[in-house]
């Protein structure tokens, strides 16, 4: 890039999700090498200057009081429109129940339902979007954003997350000043959920599959507004410098060098309330295998935002088999969204994968993390009785739209009951999972543009195209 006056890029970080993709990968380094002048417009509590990055802090961003009502209504209406469009009620499963815990919450729910009643149509969604813009342009955050942009004069504002309402004001300020804006669809399951709150000039997606989804749910977005880049979240898996030796890793986390380890990757309590029982079943199967002269252990990696004690009983009962290696996320600040990922955890996750034989979980994207290392994934696929969550079922999870992208049901090993775990674990350990890994790799190529380690480069190339438009 030769024109240094044209290459000042603002990376808008409305929350901690963007840190993992854009601050802890090589994204920043590659951008600098390509000649970009990069500033993180940072609304997270994380201090990016400690990484040597230029940043401008957005301190305690506050949306308009009405915005949250309109956002909740917009999501509900978009899900209803998706049901009509697809003639499929599966979109109902993306709805979260409204809170009725006190009078204030009941009144808030009533307001959202009132907005839905008067706007339950495509035209209504547009009215809601315009209301959000109208109100956000009245906020202090909007005027602060205008002032920052007028002073700094970036040539592109790139938002790392499409669903955060606190980013709306800053994006609107950029658009009102004629600065091109773009956003990144940050997860493989986001688009069917109706969570695209931010309207930008350009959209960055993981794959052709995701581009087709974006145009299906938002037909007004044109082909030339979409860039297929992949996601940087898998890039570190292909950087061998972060891998430590087996001896080093096992010593640090008190693992037994004579054992092979299976990774059990936990979900949050909403996604998988029965995880403790599943972990029990896995450990029980391992115990039986060990009595038959196998020498196995289980590495338990909990969901980073699950600080509950729900696993304690199982961890104590199987303390000779399960080693808990907790994610290294940090609580920076006093709000719920101040629990942030760290670069150390990225390295820990890579080494956990590298030093495990395979992973077990309930339908998460860990299948792609493990296939990056040519290792298989087993999906739990049975229900257990849980009086606290009587209506929860694995069927709800695997009926989600994003699982339709799986080109072959044999992309994972299905654990359909606790009784078959033992034999299926034996089969995987005897290297009978090569075809599963190949199928998972094909699925990975559907979900994420390949080669996966070039995602940051493709994002910067796309930003350069925007600059030259």
One DSSP character per residue, 204-258 reads: EESSHHHHHHHHHH-TTS-GGGEEE---GGGGGGG-GGGPPPHHHHHHHTT--TT
CA distance 395 to 373: 28
Chain segment 46-101, per-residue pLDDT in tens:
999 999 999 999 999 999 999 999 999 999 999 999 999 999 999 999 998 888 88
Does the pLDDT value for residue 335 go beyond 60?
Answer: no
> Average pLDDT for residues 172-194, to the nearest whole number?
97
Best CA proximity match to 266, nearest among 299, 316, 303: 303
Does the pLDDT value for residue 466 go beyond 50?
Answer: yes
CA distance 386 to 364: 21
Query: Could you tell me the strand order of the sheet in which 322-324 lies?
Result: 322-324, 296-301, 260-265, 359-361, 377-380, 413-415
Query: Could you tell me the strand order of the sheet in which 8-13 lies?
Result: 55-57, 37-42, 8-13, 156-159, 181-184, 202-205, 226-228
CATH of domain 236-447: 3.40.50.2000
Helices within 390-433 (DSSP H only): 394-398, 421-429
DSSP bridge pairs for 296:
260
> Average pLDDT for residues 325-343, to the nearest whole number?
80
Q: Do residues 125 and 153 touch, judged by C-beta distance below 8 A?
A: no
Domain borders along the chain are 8-63+139-231+452-467, 67-135, 236-447
The single-letter DSSP state of residue 272 is: -
Going by their DSSP bridges, the two strands 55-57 and 322-324 should be labelled as unpaired
- Residue 381 burial (C-beta neighbours within 10 Å; 0-12, 13-18, 19+): middle
Which helix (H) or strand (E) segment holds residue 298: the answer is: strand 296-301
CA distance 250 to 155: 48
Does the pLDDT value for residue 336 go beyond 60?
Answer: no
pLDDT of residue 6: 74
pLDDT of residue 5: 56
What CA–CA distances, in Å, run from 108 to 125, 369, 435?
A: 19, 40, 51
Residue 433 CA, distance from chain mean position: 27
Residue 246 neighbours by CB distance under 10 Å = 13
Does the pLDDT value for residue 1 go beyond 50?
Answer: no
Provide the mean pLDDT of the chain. Answer: 95
CA distance 402 to 160: 21
Q: Classify domain 8-63+139-231+452-467 at the CATH superfamily level.
A: Glycogen Phosphorylase B; (3.40.50.2000)
Task: Give percent of the chain with pLDDT exceeding 90.
Answer: 91
């Amino acid at each position: 890039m030769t024109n240094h006056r044209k290459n000042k890029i603002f990376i808008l970080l409305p929350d901690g999700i963007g840190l993992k993709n854009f601050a802890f990968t090589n994204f920043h380094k590659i951008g600098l090498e390509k000649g970009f002048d990069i500033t993180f417009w940072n609304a997270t509590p994380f201090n990016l200057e400690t990484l040597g990055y230029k940043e401008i802090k957005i301190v305690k961003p506050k949306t308009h009081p009405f915005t949250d009502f309109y956002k909740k209504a917009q999501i509900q209406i978009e899900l209803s429109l998706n049901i009509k469009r697809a003639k499929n009620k599966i979109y109902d499963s993306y709805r979260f129940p409204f809170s009725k815990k006190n009078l204030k919450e009941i009144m808030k729910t009533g307001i959202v339902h009132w907005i839905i009643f008067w706007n339950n149509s495509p035209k209504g969604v547009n009215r809601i979007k315009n209301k959000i813009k109208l109100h956000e342009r009245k906020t202090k955050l909007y005027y602060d954003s205008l002032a920052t942009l007028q002073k700094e004069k970036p040539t592109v504002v790139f938002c790392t997350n499409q669903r955060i309402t606190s980013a709306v004001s800053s994006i609107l300020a950029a658009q009102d000043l004629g600065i091109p804006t773009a956003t990144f669809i940050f997860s493989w399951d986001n688009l069917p959920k109706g969570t695209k709150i931010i309207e930008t000039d350009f959209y960055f997606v993981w794959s052709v599959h995701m581009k087709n989804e974006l145009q299906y749910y938002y037909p007004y977005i044109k082909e030339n507004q979409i860039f297929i880049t992949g996601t940087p979240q898998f890039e570190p898996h292909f950087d061998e410098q972060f891998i430590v030796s087996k001896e080093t890793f096992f010593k640090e986390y008190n693992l037994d060098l004579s054992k092979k380890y299976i990774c059990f990757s936990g979900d949050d309590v909403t996604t998988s309330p029965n995880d403790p029982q599943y972990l029990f079943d896995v450990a029980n199967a391992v115990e039986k295998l060990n009595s038959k002269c196998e020498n196995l252990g289980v590495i338990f990696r909990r969901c980073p935002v699950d600080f509950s004690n729900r696993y304690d009983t199982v961890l104590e009962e199987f303390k000779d088999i399960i080693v808990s290696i907790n994610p290294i996320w940090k609580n920076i600040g006093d709000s719920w969204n101040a629990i942030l990922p760290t670069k150390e955890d990225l390295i820990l996750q890579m080494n956990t994968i590298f030093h495990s034989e395979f992973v077990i979980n309930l339908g998460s994207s860990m299948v792609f993390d493990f296939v990056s290392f040519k290792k298989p994934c087993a999906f739990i696929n049975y229900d257990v009785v849980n009086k606290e969550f009587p209506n929860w079922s694995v069927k709800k999870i695997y009926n989600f739209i994003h699982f339709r992208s799986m080109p072959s049901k044999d992309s994972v090993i299905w654990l359909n009951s606790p009784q078959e775990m033992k034999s299926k674990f034996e089969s995987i350990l005897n290297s009978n999972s090569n075809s599963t890994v190949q199928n998972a790799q094909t699925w990975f190529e559907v979900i994420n543009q390949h080669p996966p380690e070039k995602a940051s480069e493709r994002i910067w190339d796309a930003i350069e195209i925007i600059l030259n438009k």
